[in-house]
Amino acid sequence: MDDKHLSEKESLALITQMINKAKDSYHDTGIGAMMWGAVIAICSLVKLSEIQFGYNLPFDIYWLTLLAIIPQIFITIREKKERKVKSYDDRYMDYIWLAFGISIALLIFIVNVIFQNFHPMAVSFRELGGEPGFKLMEYITPLFLLLYGMPTFITGAACRFKPMLWGGLFCWACCIITLFTTFRVDLLLTALSAVMAWFIPGLIMEKEYRLYKKETQMNV
Amino acid sequence: MFKDLDPILHSQLRLAVVSLLISVKEAEFTFLKEKTNATAGNLSVQIQKLKDAGYIDVVKQFKDNYPQTICRITKHGIKAFEDYVNSLQSYLGPK
């Protein structure tokens, strides 16, 4: 491209072409999405196997989610360093996922407080010979799936990335289903939701990113 | 009545740079070079002209010991781009 003067039609065509090029300029590496999809799926499946086969790990498997924050920080820093362009959406996306993280932490705290109050009541009820028909654990999973769906759906819609949009919808569908299923099925559906919402979209993103890198390297 | 087209924007490479910058918050020099397929020398000259006109801000800094040039469009640049597009539309026929 050089410094030549353009006709009016050529100018409008160039503006459209450049705006489209700018829109298509950012490709996520997908590593973060894949990692979180795998971590949540592993946690849910390990918990399920603990219940199914009657054993207990010496630690709560969900601590793995806290541990995963460390590589996520490195991934975020590296991705931001590598980016040659900042879009107006970036800041909003960061805030949406930060709000999601805070909401999940708050939900875990709320569930623990409810359990601490509910558990003695359930024990007393059982000691009195009652058959507790209400199992609180079976109503917790839908709340998590409700939250999983929200940022996933927004990201998919805002970035026009259909696998994530469908992943968000899948989380919400599972959110309704898990209201009526046992805790074991809930864990299975949580693992499946994590794979559909994050792991598979992450794999697709990673493939697209590698293609984009290859194309740009060929053009240089 | 036809408005005169802004001579700063009515050039292929400068218009391409401003069109790219209007869509993003900020972009590195290498990004602009990659998208416009321009040579580094020519792009530098055109960026300097846009900067002198007050249409873009240019920040030069170091990233991992390498020089980095970041460009972003100014309010004045946005207004000039909008006026330019309106003028083009008036040339090409009634809206």
Residue type, A176: I
Average pLDDT over residues A190-214: 93
CA distance A76 to chain B (A): 17
Other beta carbons within 10 Å of A82: 8
Query: Residue A89: pLDDT above 90?
Result: no
Say whether B4 sits in a helix, a strand or coil: coil
Mean pLDDT computed over every residue of chain B: 89
Comparing A36-45, A101-110, A129-138, B84-93, the range with the smallest average pLDDT is: A129-138
pLDDT in the model for residue A121: 81
Question: Touching check for A87 and chain B: CB below 8 Å?
Answer: yes
**Contact between residue A147 and residue A107 where contact means Cβ atoms under 8 Å apart:** yes
Unique residue bearing structure tokens 């290859």: A214
Would you place residue A38 in the very low, low, confident or very high pLDDT band (cuts 50, 70, 90)? very high
* Partner-chain contact A81 B11, CB within 8 Å: no
pLDDT in the model for residue A6: 77
CA distance A8 to chain B (A): 6
pLDDT in the model for residue A152: 97
Model confidence over A160-192: pLDDT tens digits?
899 999 999 999 999 999 999 999 999 999 999
Model confidence over A102-148: pLDDT tens digits?
999 999 999 989 888 887 887 787 777 766 666 777 789 999 999 99
Model confidence over B30-41: pLDDT tens digits?
999 989 999 999
CA distance B20 to chain A (A): 5
Percentage of chain A surpassing pLDDT 90? 56
* Partner-chain contact B22 A19, CB within 8 Å: yes
- Alpha-helix residue ranges (DSSP H) falling in chain A: 8-23, 31-53, 63-67, 69-82, 89-127, 141-158, 162-177, 183-194, 200-219
Query: Residue A21: pLDDT above 80?
Result: yes
- What is the pTM for the complete model shown? 0.80
pLDDT in the model for residue A220: 54
Q: How far apart are CA A121 and CA A7, in angstroms?
A: 80
Top-confidence residue, A14 or A132: A14
Say whether B67 sits in a helix, a strand or coil: strand
pLDDT in the model for residue B2: 56
* Partner-chain contact A25 B12, CB within 8 Å: no
Which of chain A's residues have a Cβ under 8 Å away from the Cβ of B16? 1, 14, 18
Top-confidence residue, B93 or B85: B85
Cβ-nearest to B13 among A3, A17, A86: A3
* Partner-chain contact B30 A84, CB within 8 Å: yes
Model confidence over B38-63: pLDDT tens digits?
999 999 999 999 999 999 999 998 87
Average pLDDT over residues A138-159: 93
pLDDT in the model for residue B65: 81
